[in-house]
């Protein structure tokens, strides 16, 4: 059947390139979801698409992209990155380069790429180097005034001299970074910094960074030699995460002063080693600070150490708005009669925890001290909704069944309290 003129026009409209008519930010969003090489291929679609990909504000050269090219040869990889940057037009807002499985040595190519992107308005920079490298961050990164988000992995952090700081940096995440002392290395000013994360870092005592706006500080699996004094004025800190399994050789008074100086702290995470530092192996009679805004508390506890258990209870009592509590059982022992007697006396927790609703205990081993701790919380939490206990490993033994029966029999101050016992399947 033949089409009349109006029907033919309607069919032609249906064939129109509707994607090309989308707003630029929508097209950019679509292209950013594609691997870089696929985004580049869109240049052959039509004249209108020839230069769209070279104006993308976000360039993500992820692990898959880098490994695929490097598998052919390092020359092919370097040549392709050079072409991408040389053909790019306009500002580069976000740049990600993941070389975690590629060893490029020496590093003049990386330095050249860093020069280019720092001169083209980069705001968000992620550089992930291989664990086998010792890449010294070039001065171009430290002196880039447009940076708002900086994420570095497996690099050497040595600021140039002079170094004025990061004037616009909001988020700083450093993982497997080695900090190197310099004769001129002083305070790093980052007036807008909100989140600082340090993971598996060495030499953190040489990082002296100051920001009055900081609201999240995470130190995980790093050697505990961070200079806490520089955070004493961070009155806006609401998240403090200090977790390490390394031996403690820190300053107890500085850590206490830091906790004392955080009036609006809402989330606190401390590993067993930090509890050991704070308790100094003794049973505290109250704490020199209260955590009036704290609602979420996570603690690693060695249930074979009286000081850690008693300090944990003091932290819980000092957190008047506490609604979520998570305990990691770091270690335990049944040969601790003094601890059992302590936990079995009402005085160790002599006040109801009226706000506490959710308790999670991980790596539960079923020792007598752990059971008494659970019994104490059940008896002192009138608003408790759930007590979730996650066993360190499943055994299916009669002893395990007896532990579950004993837990179920504990009296509960809250009529709504539910016990969830979760054996691990692995």
Query: What phi and psi values does residue 19 have, to the nearest 5 degrees?
Result: -65, -40
- Residue 413: the pLDDT is 95
Q: Please report the DSSP string for 115-166 in residue order.
A: HHHHTTT--EEEEE--TT--EEPPHHHHT-TT-SEEEEESEEE---SS----
User: Which of 231, 118, 136 is CA-nearest to residue 180?
Assistant: 136
Q: Is residue 216 very low, low, confident or very high in pLDDT (cuts 50, 70, 90)?
A: very high
> Is 157:185 a contact under the CB 8 Å cutoff?
no
Give the alpha-carbon dihedral of 399, 401, 406, 412, to 10 degrees: 150
Q: Is residue 390 very low, low, confident or very high in pLDDT (cuts 50, 70, 90)?
A: very high
Q: Class for domain 262-425, per CATH?
A: alpha beta
Q: Identify any residues that bridge with 124 across adjacent strands, giving them in sequence order.
A: 94, 149
Placement of tokens 């032609």 in the chain: 12
- What b-and-e string marks burial along 255-284, b requiring 16 or more CB atoms within 10 Å of the CB? bbbbbebbeebbbbbbbbbbbbbbbeeeee
> Is 196:209 a contact under the CB 8 Å cutoff?
yes
Alpha carbon distance 259, 253 (integer Å)? 10
Mean pLDDT of the chain: 83
Burial of 68 (0-12, 13-18, 19+ CB in 10 A): middle
Alpha carbon distance 188, 164 (integer Å)? 7
Q: How many CB atoms lie within 10 A of CB 206?
A: 18
**Residue 361, both tokens:** 């205990």
Q: Is residue 19 very low, low, confident or very high in pLDDT (cuts 50, 70, 90)?
A: low
Query: DSSP assignment, residue 387?
Result: E
* Per-residue pLDDT tens over the stretch 249-282: 567 888 888 898 899 999 999 999 899 888 887 8
Q: How many CB atoms lie within 10 A of CB 378?
A: 19
> Is 376:348 a contact under the CB 8 Å cutoff?
yes
Q: Is residue 7 very low, low, confident or very high in pLDDT (cuts 50, 70, 90)?
A: very low
Query: What phi and psi values does residue 70 have, to the nearest 5 degrees?
Result: -65, -25
Long-range contacts of 69-77, Cβ-Cβ distance < 8 Å, separation of 24 or more: 70/101, 70/102, 74/102, 74/104, 77/102
> Is 356:323 a contact under the CB 8 Å cutoff?
yes
* Per-residue pLDDT tens over the stretch 282-333: 877 778 888 999 999 999 999 999 999 999 999 999 999 999 999 999 988 7
Alpha carbon distance 309, 305 (integer Å)? 7
Where in the chain are the domains?
Answer: 21-56, 262-425
* Per-residue pLDDT tens over the stretch 160-203: 877 888 999 999 999 999 988 766 556 788 999 999 999 998 88
Half-sphere exposure of 225 (CA within 13 A, CB side): 11
Long-range contacts of 188-195, Cβ-Cβ distance < 8 Å, separation of 24 or more: 188/159, 188/163, 189/164, 189/165, 190/165, 190/166, 191/165, 191/167, 192/148, 192/167, 192/168, 193/166, 193/169, 194/170, 195/170, 195/171
- The yes-or-no verdict on residue 33 having pLDDT over 70 is no
Mean pLDDT of the region 128-135: 86
pTM of the model: 0.84
Q: How many CB atoms lie within 10 A of CB 226?
A: 24
For residue 369, the SS3 value is helix
- Residue 12: the pLDDT is 45
């Amino acid at each position: 059947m033949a089409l009349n003129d109006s029907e033919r026009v309607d069919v032609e409209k249906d064939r129109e390139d509707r994607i090309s008519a989308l707003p630029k930010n929508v097209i950019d969003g679509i292209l950013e979801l594609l691997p870089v090489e696929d985004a580049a291929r869109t240049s052959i679609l039509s004249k209108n698409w020839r230069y769209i990909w070279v104006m993308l504000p976000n360039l993500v050269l992820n692990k898959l992209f880098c490994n695929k090219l490097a598998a052919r040869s390092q020359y092919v990889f370097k040549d392709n990155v050079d072409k991408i940057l040389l053909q790019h037009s306009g500002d580069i807002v976000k740049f990600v380069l993941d070389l975690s499985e590629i060893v490029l040595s020496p590093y003049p190519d990386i330095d050249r790429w860093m020069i280019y992107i720092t001169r083209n308005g980069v705001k968000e920079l992620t550089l992930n180097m291989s664990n086998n490298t010792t890449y010294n961050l070039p001065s171009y990164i430290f002196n880039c005034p447009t940076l708002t988000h900086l994420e570095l992995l497996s690099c050497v952090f040595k600021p140039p001299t002079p170094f004025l700081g990061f004037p616009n940096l909001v988020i700083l995440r450093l993982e497997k970074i080695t900090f190197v002392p310099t004769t001129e290395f002083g305070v790093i000013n980052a007036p807008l910094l909100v989140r600082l994360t340090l993971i598996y870092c060495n030499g953190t005592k040489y990082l002296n960074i100051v920001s009055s706006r900081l609201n999240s500080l995470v130190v995980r699996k790093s050697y505990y030699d961070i200079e806490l004094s520089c955070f004493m004025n961070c009155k806006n800190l609401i998240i403090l995460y200090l977790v390490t399994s390394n031996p403690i050789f820190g300053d107890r008074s500085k850590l206490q002063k830091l906790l004392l100086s955080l009036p609006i702290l809402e989330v606190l995470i401390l590993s067993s080693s930090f509890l050991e530092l704070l308790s100094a192996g003794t049973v505290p009679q109250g704490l020199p600070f209260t955590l009036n805004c704290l609602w979420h508390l996570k603690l690693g506890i060695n249930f074979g150490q009286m000081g850690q258990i008693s300090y944990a209870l003091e932290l819980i009592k000092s957190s008047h708005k506490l609604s979520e509590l998570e305990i990691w059982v770091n270690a335990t022992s049944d040969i601790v009669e003094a601890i059992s007697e302590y936990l079995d006396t009402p005085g160790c927790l002599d006040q109801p925890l009226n706000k506490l609703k959710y308790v999670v205990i991980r790596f539960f081993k079923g020792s007598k001290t752990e059971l008494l701790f659970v019994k104490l919380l059940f008896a002192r939490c009138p608003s408790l909704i759930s007590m979730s206990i996650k066993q360190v490993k499943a055994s299916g033994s009669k002893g395990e069944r007896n532990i579950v029966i004993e837990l179920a029999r504990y009296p509960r101050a809250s009529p709504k309290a539910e016990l969830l016992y979760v054996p691990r399947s692995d």
